[in-house]
Structure 1
């Protein structure tokens, strides 16, 4: 019997630990509320861009609580919703039940999915797979499980849009990224997407669009909303829990960001235009 390569064992252990941290991050707070409160239009937008309809086999990668998977099922498709964080599935099942649809929920790592090659007619991800730390691995998996001639589609936050700027604001206060990880908003950069998908796709289309977030009455209230509900924000604050000056700086910078980006002109309202990149392509 051959002896396992210590380097491979170490890499596998590190990957399991990294994925456990990611699962815990997205299980913290209330991501289903964030998706429902701030970006309910994005799932239907992605489904429309894919032209999803009855009879299609659809995979939603990093589906969360089904922001895109549920509208796809409502369009008549047979849908599998995969996510690294199965803690989100209870809210997803409740969401599906409210819409009178059924779909399959599967624990799945976007970088190593438990699905056969060429299985799905449509493989999509709505601000989900972009957060897998190793972008090329995630891109390769999106392509692998799509049938030839099938559609790959994503909605990704852009680096210079509201959410990309939010991440840039938190970066000095956040835990250091793991070795080899790429910043999530790079998935919103056109050239980066072209390089990731390469010549394995045709008819690649990239569109910059925006969704408006109107939920809280003031930037201060909106800051506290992010602190309660959004996993990456919660992680940044926890990382500085024993550093009062860092916490004060994060609070200050976060509030300044929200004040600067607020487009509402009426008292008691906020409005934030969040840019995203809509990606559609066909697998060769």
Structure 2
């Protein structure tokens, strides 16, 4: 299956093709590679819990700039990463080359992975595949490329958690595309079990907390998101001056309300659903 096949071959309507182009532009906006640096401790914890041995074939779906792919490769894992954002794939390739690491990074779509069936021992997605617009296709692809007995492991923001609340605020100011179900459905246990129930022997879910730490106060965190995080960057750009001011105010209030730090820094733990499915 080729991620770069013509739209018609992938069953894309013109409306879906347009939506995918908009989503790609969203994730290429800002600078996710820089944005993810403050999320690195949580990413490394997620990777460590996978307990991957040397030579394990791992696919990182929606890999960004390689925040778990690069450290996995350092540990001797056989890593392939794929992401829809061209600029992030280039960042990841540069990082791998700078460290003389052998990692394959492909530009492509989580809904049409360009890999053979049963190609990987572990298929992971850390806060990534949940944002593709056709979740049933994503689920089928994650299962398809995983070998029998292998693992599919996801981390998905929950609707109730801090980031889930942030996306709800954004959605009130900039309504989401009507063709796209809420990505936060991936953070609901029943939905995940339904989506990954075909082709798997078991699906285990647990609610976890992701540490988000910034060496500056909530007001600056909100601005950091507006500058570097694609979804908030594009949402702000879609609003007039009054709308921008209102969105800023609500997001600053959210970060302030959930901040546990007592100095001029920001410490928020955002709930996510850790999903582990075993391929049948």
Q: Does TM-score exceed 0.5, indicating one fold? A: yes
Secondary structure (helix, strand or coil) at the match of 1:139 reads: helix
User: Structure 1 length normalisation: TM-score?
Assistant: 0.90
C-alpha change, 1:115 and 1:261, in structure 2 (3 Å) is same
Q: Report the CA distance between 1:23 and its aligned residue.
A: 1.1
Are 2:248 and 1:248 equivalent residues in the alignment?
A: no
Q: What whole-Å deviation, never above 9, does each CA across 1:175-211 have from its counterpart, x for those lacking one?
A: 43141x1111221111111011114212322122212
C-alpha change, 1:119 and 1:16, in structure 2 (3 Å) is same
Match of 1:234 in 2: 233
Once the two structures are overlaid, the 10-residue window that deviates more, 46-55 or 167-176, is 46-55
Which structure is larger by alpha-carbon Rg, 1 or 2?
1
Match of 1:143 in 2: 143
User: Structure 2 length normalisation: TM-score?
Assistant: 0.91
C-alpha change, 1:232 and 1:150, in structure 2 (3 Å) is same
Structure 2 unaligned spans of 5+: 1-7
User: 8 Å contact 1:110–1:141 — kept in the other structure?
Assistant: yes
Q: Report the CA distance between 1:10 and its aligned residue.
A: 9.2
User: 8 Å contact 1:169–1:254 — kept in the other structure?
Assistant: yes
Once the two structures are overlaid, the 10-residue window that deviates more, 15-24 or 164-173, is 15-24
Match of 1:36 in 2: 37
CA RMSD of aligned residues (A): 2.0
Structure 1 unaligned spans of 5+: 1-6
User: 8 Å contact 2:30–2:228 — kept in the other structure?
Assistant: yes
Q: What whole-Å deviation, never above 9, does each CA across 1:36-89 have from its counterpart, x for those lacking one?
A: 12x112333333333211122111101111112112212212111101112102
C-alpha change, 1:30 and 1:9, in structure 2 (3 Å) is closer
Q: Output the CA distance in 2 between the equivalents of 1:252 and 1:46.
A: 32
Instruction: Flag as ranges the 4+ runs of structure 1 deviating above 3 A.
Output: 7-12, 97-100
1:113-192 matches, within 5 Å, as 113-179=113-179, 181-192=180-191
User: 8 Å contact 1:49–1:280 — kept in the other structure?
Assistant: no
Q: What whole-Å deviation, never above 9, does each CA across 1:222-256 have from its counterpart, x for those lacking one?
A: 1111110110001111111xx23222211211111
Match of 1:66 in 2: 66
